Structure 1
Amino acid sequence: MVLATGDFTNDPELKGRFMGPREARVPGVNETATGDGQKLALALGGRILNGDLALGPELRFIPPRHKTLTARLPPWRLLAGLMVWSMDHLPAALLRPFVMSFVTTTLAPTPALFDSGAILVNRHGQRFAEETDAPAFALPDQPEQAAWIVLDARVAGLYAAWPHFVSTAPGVAYAYVDDYRRNRPDIFTAAPTLAALGGCLAMPAGALERTVADYNAARPAMSPRPPVGEGPYVALGPVKAVFIHNEGGLAVDAEHRVLGADDRPIPGLYAAGATGQGGLLLKGHGHHLAWAFASGRRAGRLAAAAPTAG
């Protein structure tokens, strides 16, 4: 048997056991990452390595109500080859709408927005965390577990062009404020005043104005973060807090056999991908895809070739 069920970023029990109670409360971006393979192997004497390490939590925009065209494309090899050819040969202006559909839907907003002066507010128009100090951990406690990034005219103008981007797929494309306005009208709200912006977002009357006034008044004079200034204003959101993936895979040997506590292979049990990561640290390696492809093929071949018990 080959276990290949992904990681456990959407399983509160395993996250609480290996990462901690506050991590356990943050969901995974992949709803199916429930650690089923790890749980099966643990029950048979397997063990997890690097269970405390994960990418996140980070803020992510909620997905569109309907899947985008790029999300609906089938995973055909011929189609993937055509996409690679297009990236190399077609004009950037022709490709940009398709690329922006991906960048503005799938990728995280940069934390640099908060360094530049944006603030994060909940459904009631209130700040609930220090924006530059892991606010994603506080988001599960908020109404609907949702928040909005509020930009004044200065910050919105700053993030209208390079080098200040809202989100990016490094080496592929950069998305700016206007890209979100065009591609994600469901999460883009603009208004001339804070009162109008709060009204558009169905926040209590006057709440957003009071939040900004309190924030500006309490901000230390020497703070590197500028105050919230004049409008027009932009709100991006809702955003949610999510884990992207973790490094907590089962211990395996060079043949992808799951190892027990004594480092002896558990008979007939193999693991691949994030389930059988075996202690590898893959952050920054294409969300673990290369390891998933390679280990999956090897584990399948080795398991098929293994002798069976009499």
Structure 2
Amino acid sequence: MAQVIVVGGGLAGLSAAHTLLERGANVLLLDKQPFMGGNSTKATSGINGAGTQSQQDLGIPDNAKTFFEDTKKSARELARDDLIRVLTGRSGDAVNWLQDKFQLDLSKVARLGGHSQPRTHRGDAQFPGMVMTYAQMERLEDLAESTPDRVQIKKKARVTQLIKDQAGAVIGAEYVHNGKTETAYGPVILATGGYAADFTADSLLKKYRPEYWNLPTTNGEHCTGDGQKMALAIGASAIDLEKVQVHPTGLVDPKEPEAKVKFLAAEALRGVGGLLLDNTGARFVDELQHRDYVTGKMWENGKFPIRLVLNGDASKQIEWHCKHYVGRGLMKRFESGEALAKEMGLKPEVLKKTFDDYNKVLRAKKDPFGKKFFSDEEWKFDDYFNVAIMTPVLHYTMGGLEIDAESRVVDTTGKPIPGLFAAGEVAGGVHGANRLGGSSLLGCVVFGRVSGDSAASYLLQRIGPLAEKAAGRLGAVAGHLGAEASSSSKSAPAPAPAKEEKKAEATPAASGEKSFSVEEVQKHNKKDDCWVIIDGKVLDVTAFMPDHPGGEKAILLYAGRDATEEFNMLHDPKVIPRYAPEAVIGSLKK
């Protein structure tokens, strides 16, 4: 059976690939990054779902109709009912699919801004975007090794153009890999992400929102609108390209306040009760309002720096995030309200009054800023606080390629372009004028699955009289792969096969060839000479840094130091033997 080409290795592309395999199609996945994952790995709040098993277990009375209404309200005048109906109507199934197929823990459910019910799912320990993406990524990589006739993955493969036949159907893609231009044939699913880091010469961002050009961004440098530009070049229609979401809570690094790329403060930090305070120590907005509204109020208020403040109760609810941000120097812990007031340059009684006034709001459930949902615990001045400085940041592009409810890319006349599909942030119109928190991962999974279904059906139709026979044969193979997948353990991500464990045993550290003292490691603390310690192993990560999905800064923070605690908060233990076995140069002297 012919293949489907998936361009992009984030959650949308991975969800499309797994759905294609379930439908019996073969997959060629092309990703221009050295590691798959894209921005999906950075998503921190969770994935939305209405009517999920987790919600039922918690007694949350949510349903697709309520979620549809919340999303349509957020999308405002640009609401596309057909796409919103797909997004919300298939949301519960998407969450259940992740839990059942990939054995993920998504049992915690929170309410984010703009939602009338708690519906944003996550689990313990790790950022949900990373967990979801790595589970799918590792499963697909294992299948590429065990069934290379079904799955091929090519990284550092930059797709440059789409190929059409004389009838106007997309029949393949041209890409550059290892310095060579190659051509692959088959229908194409674009899952290349957005353009909120598009600072290139033909930037969509500069063309459609030039006033945002100088803002910092949360996006990786790969988000340059590649998929949009390639499809537009062959006659595709675009929609809402001017709709660029500015997120209110980008984390300001005190050491690099002007850094162009910033980490995002998870919306869940406000969801558990965090307050936004201006430089006078006062609240100025409903912290759980839509992102564009909160951003607008920050600019309107203008009293920077603006701080996100979590009290002890909120900090406990989202302890992992706080530890992560504190570890990176992006958040600071204060042991009392008095210490926080001193940091802010305020008299203690000023900050205490803010807390006392908010406690009155909590008790009355009536907020002058319109807040409707509150945490149960009152704020005490004699408490500990986790605090970070916030700034608006480029975050998400609602605009993109115009698609229909089957994820088919349409042309300028409104007709589907045969053989071309889109999923995730590359597709526009799904979220209208403003995206709700928790719906980015959802859009990736839902439309990844929809595009996989549509592309598989299209492929079978194109095969002709052999389609039924091929579908039966490959359906049996897909069933075998599904059974193999469901037999994996309930860890997240799924465990690597035995061959990966052998890789780990073959590293110098495991065989005891070399050992280094802490003092020796400390000498290697620069960008061009960087060692770190992880779980008693010494790694030379100098060559690996440019390829690190989290960026060089995430590693340099621990240059010459023990990074075990931070590493284990974010990664499964098998990440090193799977992706960077050559970095292990020895073990730590005892």
Tell me the TM-score normalized by structure 2.
Answer: 0.30
Change (3 A) 1:214 1:294: closer
1:251 pairs, out of 402, 405, 410, with 402
Amino acid at match of 1:193: G
Q: Partner of 1:30 in structure 2?
A: 219
1:239 pairs, out of 383, 386, 390, with 390
Change (3 A) 1:47 1:24: farther
Q: Deviations over 1:39-58 (max 9, x none)?
A: 67668864334769888846
1:198 equivalenced with 2:367 (yes/no): no
CA-based RMSD of the aligned residues comes to 5.3
Distance 1:120 1:31 in 2: 26
Distance 1:210 1:27 in 2: 32
Structure 2 residue matching 1:149: 3-state secondary structure: strand
Change (3 A) 1:264 1:233: closer
Distance 1:181 1:252 in 2: 37
Amino acid at match of 2:193: G
Measure how far apart 1:156 and its partner are: 0.3
Task: Give matches, 1:161-200, under 5 Å.
Answer: 165-166=317-318, 175=320, 177=322, 179-180=323-324, 183-194=327-338, 196-200=339-343
1:216 pairs, out of 350, 353, 356, with 356
Measure how far apart 1:277 and its partner are: 2.6
Structure 1 residue matching 2:439: 3-state secondary structure: coil
Q: State, as a whole percentage, how many aligned pairs show the same letter.
A: 18
1:48 equivalenced with 2:198 (yes/no): no
Measure how far apart 1:128 and its partner are: 2.8
1:230 equivalenced with 2:381 (yes/no): yes
Larger radius of gyration, structure 1 or 2?
A: 2
Q: Partner of 2:312 in structure 1?
A: 156
Distance 1:53 1:26 in 2: 15
Asked which structure has the greater RCO (Cα within 8 Å, sep 6+), the reply is 1
Distance 1:14 1:248 in 2: 10
Change (3 A) 1:121 1:113: same
Change (3 A) 1:133 1:181: closer
**Would you say the 8 A contact 2:272–2:314 is kept in 1?**
no
Give 5+ residue unaligned stretches, structure 1.
Answer: 67-103, 167-173, 303-310
Distance 1:257 1:182 in 2: 43
**Would you say the 8 A contact 2:326–2:333 is kept in 1?**
no
Change (3 A) 1:284 1:119: closer
**Would you say the 8 A contact 1:8–1:15 is kept in 2?**
no
Distance 1:235 1:275 in 2: 32
Change (3 A) 1:41 1:158: closer
Q: Partner of 2:412 in structure 1?
A: 260
Structure 1 residue matching 2:350: 3-state secondary structure: helix
**Would you say the 8 A contact 2:398–2:425 is kept in 1?**
no
Q: Partner of 2:286 in structure 1?
A: 130
Change (3 A) 1:295 1:145: farther
Q: Partner of 1:277 in structure 2?
A: 427
Q: Partner of 2:571 in structure 1?
A: none
Amino acid at match of 1:237: A
Distance 1:64 1:290 in 2: 38
